[in-house]
Amino acid sequence: MERRRVQNDADKTAKRVQALFPLSEQETSGRRRNTTKHTKAAANLGFPIFFSVIVVSAFAMSAERLPVEQTKGVNGLDKIVLRESRARSAEVYLYGGHVTSWTNENGEELLFLSSKAIFKPPKPIRGGIPLCFPQFSNLGPLESHGFARNRIWSIDSNPPPLPSNSTSKAFVDLILRPSEDDLKIWPHNFEYRLRVGLGVEGELMLTSRIRNTNSDGKPFTFTFAYHTYFSVSDISEVRIEGLETLDYLDNLKNRERFTEQGDAITFESEVDKIYLSTPTKIAILDHEKKRTFVVRKDGLADAVVWNPWEKKSKTIPDMGDEEYKQMLCVEAAAIEKPITLKPGEEWKGRLELSAVPSSYSSGQLDPSKVLQ
C-alpha cells in the first residue's frame, strides 16, 4: 500500500512539474518519464514528497533553455540567442550588432537571410536587420550604409536605464564606440547603444541610442536606417499599406520626388523608394501566408521600400538570382532630415516588429485589428 501511495504521489508530482514547465510534445513524452523516475527514486530513498518536488523542479528547470545565451555562430562569430517561449527566438551577432533571425511560435523564420550571406568581416551580412549608421546608402563620403554594420560590437553590461513596458527577460544590450581607424574617416566620438529584445508575444524590438561624446564641442550629423529584410512567400503576392498618398524619393530616378498614387504598394518590378514623413505604423500583407507584418517606429520619420527584382539580383554576389522573390525590405529610417547632435545630446530611434494573422475585407487590411 505504501509503495502504491508513493507511486501515485510521484505521478501527481510529475504532472504538477509539467504544468509549471510546459514543453513540446516530443520533450514532454521523454521528460515525463524522467520526471516520474526521478520523483520515484527520491521517494524510494526515503525522501518526503515535498523534497521530491524540489528535486524534480530543479531537474525540469535545468533542462529549460535560458532566455539569453551567448554562443558561436557561422564561422565562429559570437552571437546572442534570445528566447521568449516555445519556438519564439531571435539571434543577434556581435559582428555588426546584426539581427539575423526572428522566429514565431511555430518556429517559422520571419526575416530573410540570403543563402549566399557572407559571415566574414569586413563584408556586411546580407539579410536580417543591418544597421545603417552614420550614413544611409551613398548620401555622404563614407562607404555605402556607413560602418556600424561591419564592426565588432561589445555587450553592454551596465547600460543606462531604458524604460520599457515589456516584462520579458529576453533582451541584450550592445555598445559600439569608434576605433582610431573610424575616427580617421568620420572624426566624431560617439556611443551607440543598442537593445534588442523579444516581447512576451514574440514581437521583436530594437532601440538605438546614439550620443555625441565629442570633447571638442563640435556637433555631428548622421543619417540612419534599420535595413530590415522581411521573409515573404512571393513578392508578387505582397502589398504594403500605410504609405498611400505620401511623397517619396525614387532612387531609380536620381531621387526625384513623386507622390504615391496607389491604394497600396504592390510589386511588379524593381522598387527603391524613400517615403517621407511616414506614419508610426506600416503594414506588410503577405496574401499567400495569410500573415501581416506590423512595423511600429518612433524617432524615424522615413521609410525605405526596396526589392531588387530579377535583373539587379543577378548583379549582387551575395544573393541568389531568384531570392528577390522571397524578400522585401521595409526600413524605418531618418534620411530626409539628418539628425544633428551637440556634445552630450542623445538621439533615440525605436523599431518594433510583430507578425499577426492577416484580416481581409474587400482585399484590404482591417485597420481596427492592426493599424490602430
Q: Using CA atoms in the order 360, 364, 365, 367, what is the torsion angle rounded to 10 degrees?
A: -120
- Name which of 287, 296, 295 is nearest 358 in CA terms: 287
**180 belongs to the catalytic site:** no
Catalytic residue among 84, 91, 227, 241: 227
> Would you list the DSSP string of 306-333?
EE-HHHHHTT-TTS-TTGGGGEEEEEEE
Q: Considering 84, 241, 331, 352, which one is annotated as catalytic?
A: 331
Q: How many residues does the chain have?
A: 372
* Sheet with 98-103: strands ordered across: 68-72, 78-83, 89-93, 98-103
Residue 274 pairs in a beta bridge with 249, 304
User: Cα dihedral sign for 344, 138, 334, 91?
Assistant: negative
Grid coordinates standing for 22? 510546459
**Three cell numbers, residue 53:** 518536488
Catalytic residue check, 331: yes
Cα–Cα distance for residue pair 197/82, rounded to 1 Å: 7
Compute the distance between CA of residue 325 and CA of residue 321 in angstroms, rounded to an integer.
Answer: 9
Residues noted as catalytic:
227, 331
